[in-house]
């Protein structure tokens, strides 16, 4: 059994960590947090130069053709550094959707641009409150144009193109949904930035008014493609969450070692030690679930739906738990703008919702386990 990343993959993780610690220190994250930029353009350029944007894109489409295990280790580092860049929307959502369902021409057009950092992509799925569901999709297509509103759309204000979930039928079945690819710079789409709890990752409202759109995949296949994309993204985002959880735990640990109260480091008090030990437990369970998800993702295993849901739930819980208690360990200082604790707290709670809420994934996991047991 080798339930671990290879030495090469670990080297790539180290390279990503080094790159991000230099190019994406907390100061860089704060530039976006404070609204001085929509995202970190320099970082985005650097990610392209390092080959990280196209790490899982085949060489024939301008990528590095490495694979999804490599993408997982990079994702972990992106989460750890709170990278203020449209990595998840472009790489896990848009690129994955095109890889799964795109035509040869669509792959040739967009994947090289993603790998080189020229194009930012996203997935326009949600239409207001609620979790992923075919029933919630109302946006309509007629004669190759789209009309309707999508929100929230991650990185919608900076994206060059979007994969849009569209209603093309009214039978009440999953086959009512189709996917379209829209060039957001071609007109017909109004973009409005939305504020959210984590300003380091933008959200937007997209209003489609007779926007030109081309189908991505066959008509009626939209929900099936989306389900695959969401499962794959769930594993990748879970790695970001584990990276964030680990960093929040380290911050809490370091502060507990340095901070003196009542004449001793606060890390010598059992009330504080036990809180940190519990954070370690959550982060470790999440990491192990993520490794299983990574294996399923990289091998296209039939276990992927269950593994993805488990990784997503475990990593969501761990990041929220570690980010919350990191503030608690820091006491009053943890509640200042100046300390970085709130940036992890914001990210933990925003990223917990992006692909659907915790309760949605809990529901998915139980459904999938029942299906497996029934089979």
Partner 1 sequence: MNFDDTPQEAEFRSLARKWVAANAPKEFEEELSKSSLGRIRLARHDMVEVGKAWQKKKAEGGWACLHWPKEYGGRGATPIEKVIWQQEEGVYGKLTQPFQIGEGMCGPTVMAFGSEDSKRRYLPKLASGDEIWCQLFSEPAGGSDVAGLRTRAEKKGDNWIVNGQKIWTSGAHYSDYGLLITRTDPNVPKHKGLTMFFLDMKSKGVEVRPIKQANGMQEFNEVYFTDVVIPDHQRLGAVGDGWNVSLTTLMNERMSIGSRLATGFPEMFEFCSNLMTDDGLAIDDPATRSKLASWAVKASGLKYTSYRAISALSKGERPGPENSIGKLVSGMMLQDIATYAMDLQGAAGALTGDAEEQARGQFQQMLLSSPSMRIAGGTDEILRNIIAERVLGLPGDIRVDKDVPFNKIPTKGR
Which positions lie near partner 1, rule CB under 8 A?
1-6, 69, 249, 253, 256-257, 264-265, 267-268, 270, 272-274, 276-278, 280-281, 284-286, 288-289, 291-292, 294-295, 298, 309-310, 313-314, 317, 359, 361-363, 365-366, 369-370, 373
How far is 303 from 7, CA to CA, in rounded Å? 25
Minimum distance from residue 232 beta carbon to partner 1 (Å): 16
Taking the chain, what is the end-to-end CA distance rounded to the nearest angstrom? 27
Q: How far is CA 349 from CA 117, 123, 190, 346, in A?
A: 27, 20, 28, 5
Q: Which is nearer to partner 1, 218 or 366 (CB)?
A: 366
**Shortest distance, CB of residue 172 to partner 1, whole angstroms?**
21
Q: Which is nearer to partner 1, 127 or 363 (CB)?
A: 363
**φ/ψ bin of 363: left (φ > 0), alpha (ψ from -120 to 50), beta (otherwise):** alpha
Least distance CB 238 / partner 1 (angstroms)? 11
φ, ψ of residue 210 to 5 degrees: the values are: 50, 45
Q: What are the beta bridge partners of residue 148?
A: 208
Distance CA 138, CA 161 (A): 20
Nearer to partner 1, 17 or 259 (CB): 259
| Rounded Cα distance, 289 and 338, in Å | 34
C-beta of 182: minimal distance to partner 1 in Å?
35
Show the tokens assigned to 319: 């990041």
> Residue 358 and residue 338: Cα distance in Å, rounded?
30
C-beta of 87 vs 291, nearer to partner 1: 291
- Judged by CB, which is closer to partner 1: 88, or 289? 289
Nearer to partner 1, 14 or 367 (CB): 367
State which residue, 180 or 292, has the beta carbon closest to partner 1. Answer: 292
Least distance to partner 1 from the beta carbon of 31, Å? 32
Please report where in the chains the tokens 């954070």 appear, as a residue.
279
CB of 300 to partner 1, least distance (A): 13
The answer for residues whose C-beta is within 8 angstroms of residue 245's C-beta and 6 or more apart is 279, 282, 283, 286, 315, 318, 319, 321, 322, 323, 348
d(CA 232, CA 296): 9
Residue 341: name the closest of 331, 328, 353, 327 by CA.
327
Which residue number, 2 or 195, has a Cβ lying nearer to partner 1?
A: 2
Closest approach of partner 1 to the CB of residue 257, in Å: 7
CB 240, min distance to partner 1, A: 17
Cis peptide before 152 (omega within 30 of 0): yes
């Amino acid at each position: 059994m080798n339930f671990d990343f290879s030495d090469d993959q670990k080297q790539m993780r180290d390279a990503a960590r080094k790159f991000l610690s230099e190019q994406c220190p907390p100061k860089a994250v704060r530039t976006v947090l404070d609204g001085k930029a929509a995202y970190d353009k320099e970082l985005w350029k650097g990610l392209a130069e390092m080959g990280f944007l196209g790490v899982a894109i085949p060489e024939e489409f301008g990528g590095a053709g490495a694979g999804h295990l490599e993408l997982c280790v990079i994702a972990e580092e992106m989460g750890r550094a709170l990278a203020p860049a449209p990595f998840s929307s472009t790489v896990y959502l848009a690129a994955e959707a095109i890889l799964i369902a795109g035509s040869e021409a669509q792959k040739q057009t967009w994947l090289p641009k993603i790998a080189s950092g020229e194009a930012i992509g996203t997935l326009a799925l949600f239409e207001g409150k609620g979790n992923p569901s075919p029933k919630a999709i109302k946006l309509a297509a007629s004669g190759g144009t789209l009309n309707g509103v999508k929100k929230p759309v991650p990185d919608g204000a900076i994206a060059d193109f979007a994969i849009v979930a569209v209603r093309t039928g009214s039978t009440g079945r999953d086959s009512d949904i189709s996917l379209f690819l829209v060039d957001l710079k071609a007109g017909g789409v109004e973009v409005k930035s939305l504020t959210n709890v984590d300003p380091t990752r933008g959200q937007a409202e997209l209003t489609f008014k007779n926007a030109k759109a081309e189908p991505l995949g066959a008509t009626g296949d939209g929900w099936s493609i989306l389900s695959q994309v969401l499962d794959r993204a769930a594993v990748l985002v879970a790695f970001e969450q584990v990276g964030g959880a680990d960093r929040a735990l380290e911050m809490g640990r370091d502060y507990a070692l340095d901070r003196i109260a009542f004449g001793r480091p606060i890390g010598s008090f059992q009330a504080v030690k036990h809180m940190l030990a519990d954070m370690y437990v959550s982060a470790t369970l999440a990491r192990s679930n993520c490794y299983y998800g990574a294996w399923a993702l990289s091998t296209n295993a039939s276990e992927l739906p269950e593994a993805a849901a488990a990784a997503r739930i475990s990593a969501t819980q761990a990041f929220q738990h570690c980010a919350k208690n990191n503030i608690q360990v820091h006491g009053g200082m943890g509640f200042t703008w100046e300390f970085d604790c709130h940036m992890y707290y914001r990210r933990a709670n925003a990223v917990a919702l992006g692909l659907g809420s915790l309760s949605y994934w809990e529901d998915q996991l139980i459904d999938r386990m029942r299906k497996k047991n029934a089979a």
